[in-house]
Amino acid sequence: MSESMPPASSGDHRTVLLRGGEVHSPADPFATAMVVERGHVAWVGSEGAADAFASGVDEVVDLEGALVTPAFVDAHVHTTATGFALTGLDLSSAASLAEAAELIRAHAAARPEDRILIGHGWDASRWPERRPLTRDELDELTGGRPLYLTRIDVHSAVVTTALLDLVPGIRDLDGFHDGQRPLTGDAHHAVRAAAFAAVSPLQRTEAQRAARIRAASLGIGTLHECGGPQISSEDDFTGLLDLAREEAGPRVVGYWADLDVERARALGALGAAGDLFADGSLGSHTACLHEPYADHAGHSGSAHLDAATIALHVVACTEAGLQAGFHAIGDAAVTAVVEGVRAAAEKLGLARIRAARHRVEHVEMLTPETIAAFAELGLTASVQPAFDALWGGEEGMYADRLGAERARTLNPYAALLRAGVPLAFGSDSPVTPLDPWGTVRAAAFHRTPEHRISARAAFTAHTRGGWRAVGRDDAGTLVPGAPADYAVWRTEELVVQAPDDRVARWSTDPRSGTPGLPDLSPGVELPVCLRTVVYGQTVFVRPNE
């Protein structure tokens, strides 16, 4: 399935026996076989017991020693933008301003018919020049055509003059910078809306299809789409949900980031949540901080929602039976979310707020107090471990923006788990690529050792955690009765891996009966996906396997 997916109706009711491998299941830590019937796991057990099922199934799959795990859930994705990064202009590999310029020039030359050029992934903090391309440079590289080019965090962009000309009044909007600096805030949102409005429906569908195909090829069975009026468009959002219903592939759970709760419901969203911005990002200096940035004197970012507005939204969502959720990265923004949700709990009762499973995206700058509040209020932390792998460490972007001492406090996954805060892992693709095993590795080998968690805990956050984040406790594990969402992997010997001696030492002993996982140590080759199945239906098969 390198080019397409099977039709959505194929194989839904076939009974399949998988045998001769390793099945990652809490029902039997030594399982080697599994039966799938009517889209659900029907049985998990040993090779000897599998003989009793062999004659009564529609298909027997010889795993040939492969590993079967629950399919991954990516709990934060921008699907269309991911597809454009896959099929269009991707600058994430550019090591310098000059390399980025050449990629832009080549892309413009290769796409003469496109009404607008869209690209993503530049990060001037990693370039020797330490600056983005200017508008004049972009105008020259594109021959004066419209170009929208997002920074890697998607919270700022550089554009050409031709794109600005499509947005009347752009120069009067907050966040407009003429010349060297990227657009942020309202100005960025306005040019983004104009850019995506210029994309044809065919281009958009092709991008969405490409993103789902890539996800399936990586063993991802579910995507949480984080759309919203400041991020995409209603047509984009509903078109993606329709595509996921009509074509085989990863299921899509939609979140619409809007204070208008009824609008979110009308669009088919599970919640008025996701990237409902309480602040911006650290890379673009727009995350809202209690203390100023280390590299931007006197500047503490931007607050987009106050605690009172957050409280009203949480109350409205809870009463409507929808999830509320917010994008919050800086410590001041996280504090505002906690204060708002607590105020909602005082109005409706703590039990109703906890039962609603509201969620917060990113939550990078936490304190012991806000971590305790997350646990008390039943908030899910939807986080992206690849952020730490990309920007953490003594020499990384976090240290540039915050100073080394504050940077070391970011993304404290171990503290969240110890407090009992539910974790759901995602990529925020295209900010970081779809890469589930890489995400598990990033959490297990966090750049700050005290924030590391076991590979097992990280794997759970990227499988069952994503299901729990949408209110489902019956999925994300391979046990009888669970939805048959699974992936088959080629990998080396399985291990039970903890980041160091302080973390669950007992569980590394094979006698504990803990199911093993691939060795995710840095430098070790990650597992290769051979097959992905969603609700009993095969949505990806690796070519030539």
Residue 82 has pLDDT above 60, yes or no: yes
pLDDT at 199: 85
Q: Stretch 380-384: mean pLDDT, rounded?
A: 98
Higher pLDDT among residues 470 and 13, named by residue: 470
Instruction: Please give the structure tokens belonging to residue 291.
Output: 């203390």
Instruction: Name, in order, each residue with C-beta under 8 angstroms of 162's C-beta and a sequence gap of 6 or more.
Output: 139, 142, 144, 145, 146, 147
Q: Stretch 360-386: mean pLDDT, rounded?
A: 98
Residue 483 has pLDDT above 60, yes or no: yes
What band does 510 get if pLDDT is binned at 50, 70 and 90?
very low
Q: Please state the pTM of the whole predicted model.
A: 0.90
pLDDT at 332: 98
Alpha-carbon span 493 to 141, nearest angstrom? 49
Cα 483 to the center of its chain, rounded Å = 21
Instruction: Please give the structure tokens belonging to residue 350.
Output: 């703590």
Domains and CATH numbers, the chain: 79-198 (3.10.310.70)
- 190 three-state secondary structure: helix
What band does 85 get if pLDDT is binned at 50, 70 and 90?
confident
Residue 3 has pLDDT above 70, yes or no: no
Q: Stretch 6-13: mean pLDDT, rounded?
A: 48
pLDDT digits (tens, 9 = 90+) for 387-419: 999 999 999 999 999 999 999 999 999 999 999
What band does 506 get if pLDDT is binned at 50, 70 and 90?
very low
pLDDT at 509: 46
Alpha-carbon span 243 to 3, nearest angstrom? 16
pLDDT digits (tens, 9 = 90+) for 236-291: 999 999 999 999 999 999 999 999 999 999 999 999 999 999 999 999 899 999 99
What band does 504 get if pLDDT is binned at 50, 70 and 90?
very low
